[in-house]
Amino acid sequence: MGDSFPVAAAAAALPAPLWLLMTLKGVGFFLHVAAMHLVYAGLPIAVVFAVLGGDHGRRVAARLGAAMPVAVAVAVNFGVVPLLFLQVVYAPVAYPATILIAWPWFAVIPLLLVAYAGVYAFAMLPETGKLGAVRIAAGALGAAFVVVVGFVFANGLSLMANGGQMLAIFDATARAGAVRGLALNLGDSTIVPRWLMMFGLGVTTTAAYLLLDAEVFATRETGDYRFWARRWAFRIHTVGLGLFGAAGLWYILGALPPEVRRGIFALPLPHGLAMLSALLPAAAWAIAWRASRAGRGADLVVAVQLAALAANVASRQWVQSREILAVFDPASLPLKVQSGPLAVFLVLVVAGLALTGWMVRVWARSAGEGRA
């Protein structure tokens, strides 16, 4: 296939200005991440509490499990938005990358369906008796499949930015011009640290939610339970921050391509985003320490945590764009604005956000009334 990945022939016109497409992609990814973290890291944590946490731990698991169906629904629906815009902006590299890992990529759908069933079983089956054991097994299976789905997505999205690895996979798997589609992008050094970094950040997001639940939603629980839940939320936050920090250092200093790393530290925008990405999770942890003892301040923890997610999403968008520039520049594509479909999409996005906000408020009200 040569020394460079052939993308020019696959290029098409952009249906909207590049800045708008990238903004919508980033906003959609932020909304997806904010909800998905509760499932990605929260479901494994809930299963562990259900097995090892004692009376209070099982109650934490039940309350956290009750949030899972809502979190999955929001995460999956918002996850479609960045994926679609990624395919629009980076089609010449997105489609070849996913074809090379076609069967793992397609496997995301059945894996997610099984994970969704596990989430509902964990949320709705009784905690004791024979069905209690089924509940824990279903939750564990769902948690495992969600983690696998996250790893497959990390593979595909990393492969897009690595023309050399795409060529290597093609050369290793092609037969008569067609690939088997069974490969994974395991030769990329950035996958594991980035995956662990996002899982660590997911643990901190889950901890922030647990703190909010103990302070705001669990008003009908005993004072002893709420105190116990706040303390454990902070401990979980500490573990997540440690994993995020260690994996982040590995990712930035040991795994990123040198030219991307130099760009992060040399340019004001990515340098500032990198600093915010590192400092805001630490700030949320510091506020969580205070809130876990005082019994107030969880709303501030959640606000700072959301800001940390936004900074990390923006940083990831910059790094992804910079990496893909070595393979393909979307700014080189012609612009052919499709104003009608774009207007319909924007109207539907606003309506969808309003409907989602209403659904979350209804769920939050039921959680506060003790039905979580």
Give me the residues of the chain with pLDDT under 50, please.
1-3, 8-10
Residues in the chain: 372
Q: Give the H/E segment covering residue 174.
A: strand 174-175
Q: What is the CA radius of gyration of the chain?
A: 21
For residue 372, the model assigns a pLDDT of 53
CA–CA separation, 316 and 288 (whole Å): 25
Could you please report the per-residue DSSP string of 10-73?
A: G---BSS-HHHHHHHHHHHHHHHHHHHHHHHTHHHHHHHHHHHSHHHHHHHHHHHHHHHHHHHH
For residue 193, the model assigns a pLDDT of 92
Q: Give the H/E segment covering residue 103.
A: helix 102-124
**Maximal CA-CA distance, the chain:** 68
DSSP 335: B
CA–CA separation, 292 and 53 (whole Å): 18
What domains, with CATH codes, occur in the chain?
18-331 (1.20.1630)
Is 295 strand, coil or helix? Answer: coil
pLDDT digits (tens, 9 = 90+) for 256-295: 888 888 888 888 888 899 999 999 999 999 999 999 998 8
Place of tokens 């679609």: 84
For residue 51, the model assigns a pLDDT of 92
Given a contact cutoff of 8 angstroms between Cβ atoms, the answer to whether 333 and 38 are in contact is: no
**Residue 178: strand pairing partners:** 175
Given a contact cutoff of 8 angstroms between Cβ atoms, the answer to whether 42 and 62 are in contact is: no
Pairing of β 174-175 and β 178-179: antiparallel
pTM for the structure as a whole: 0.91
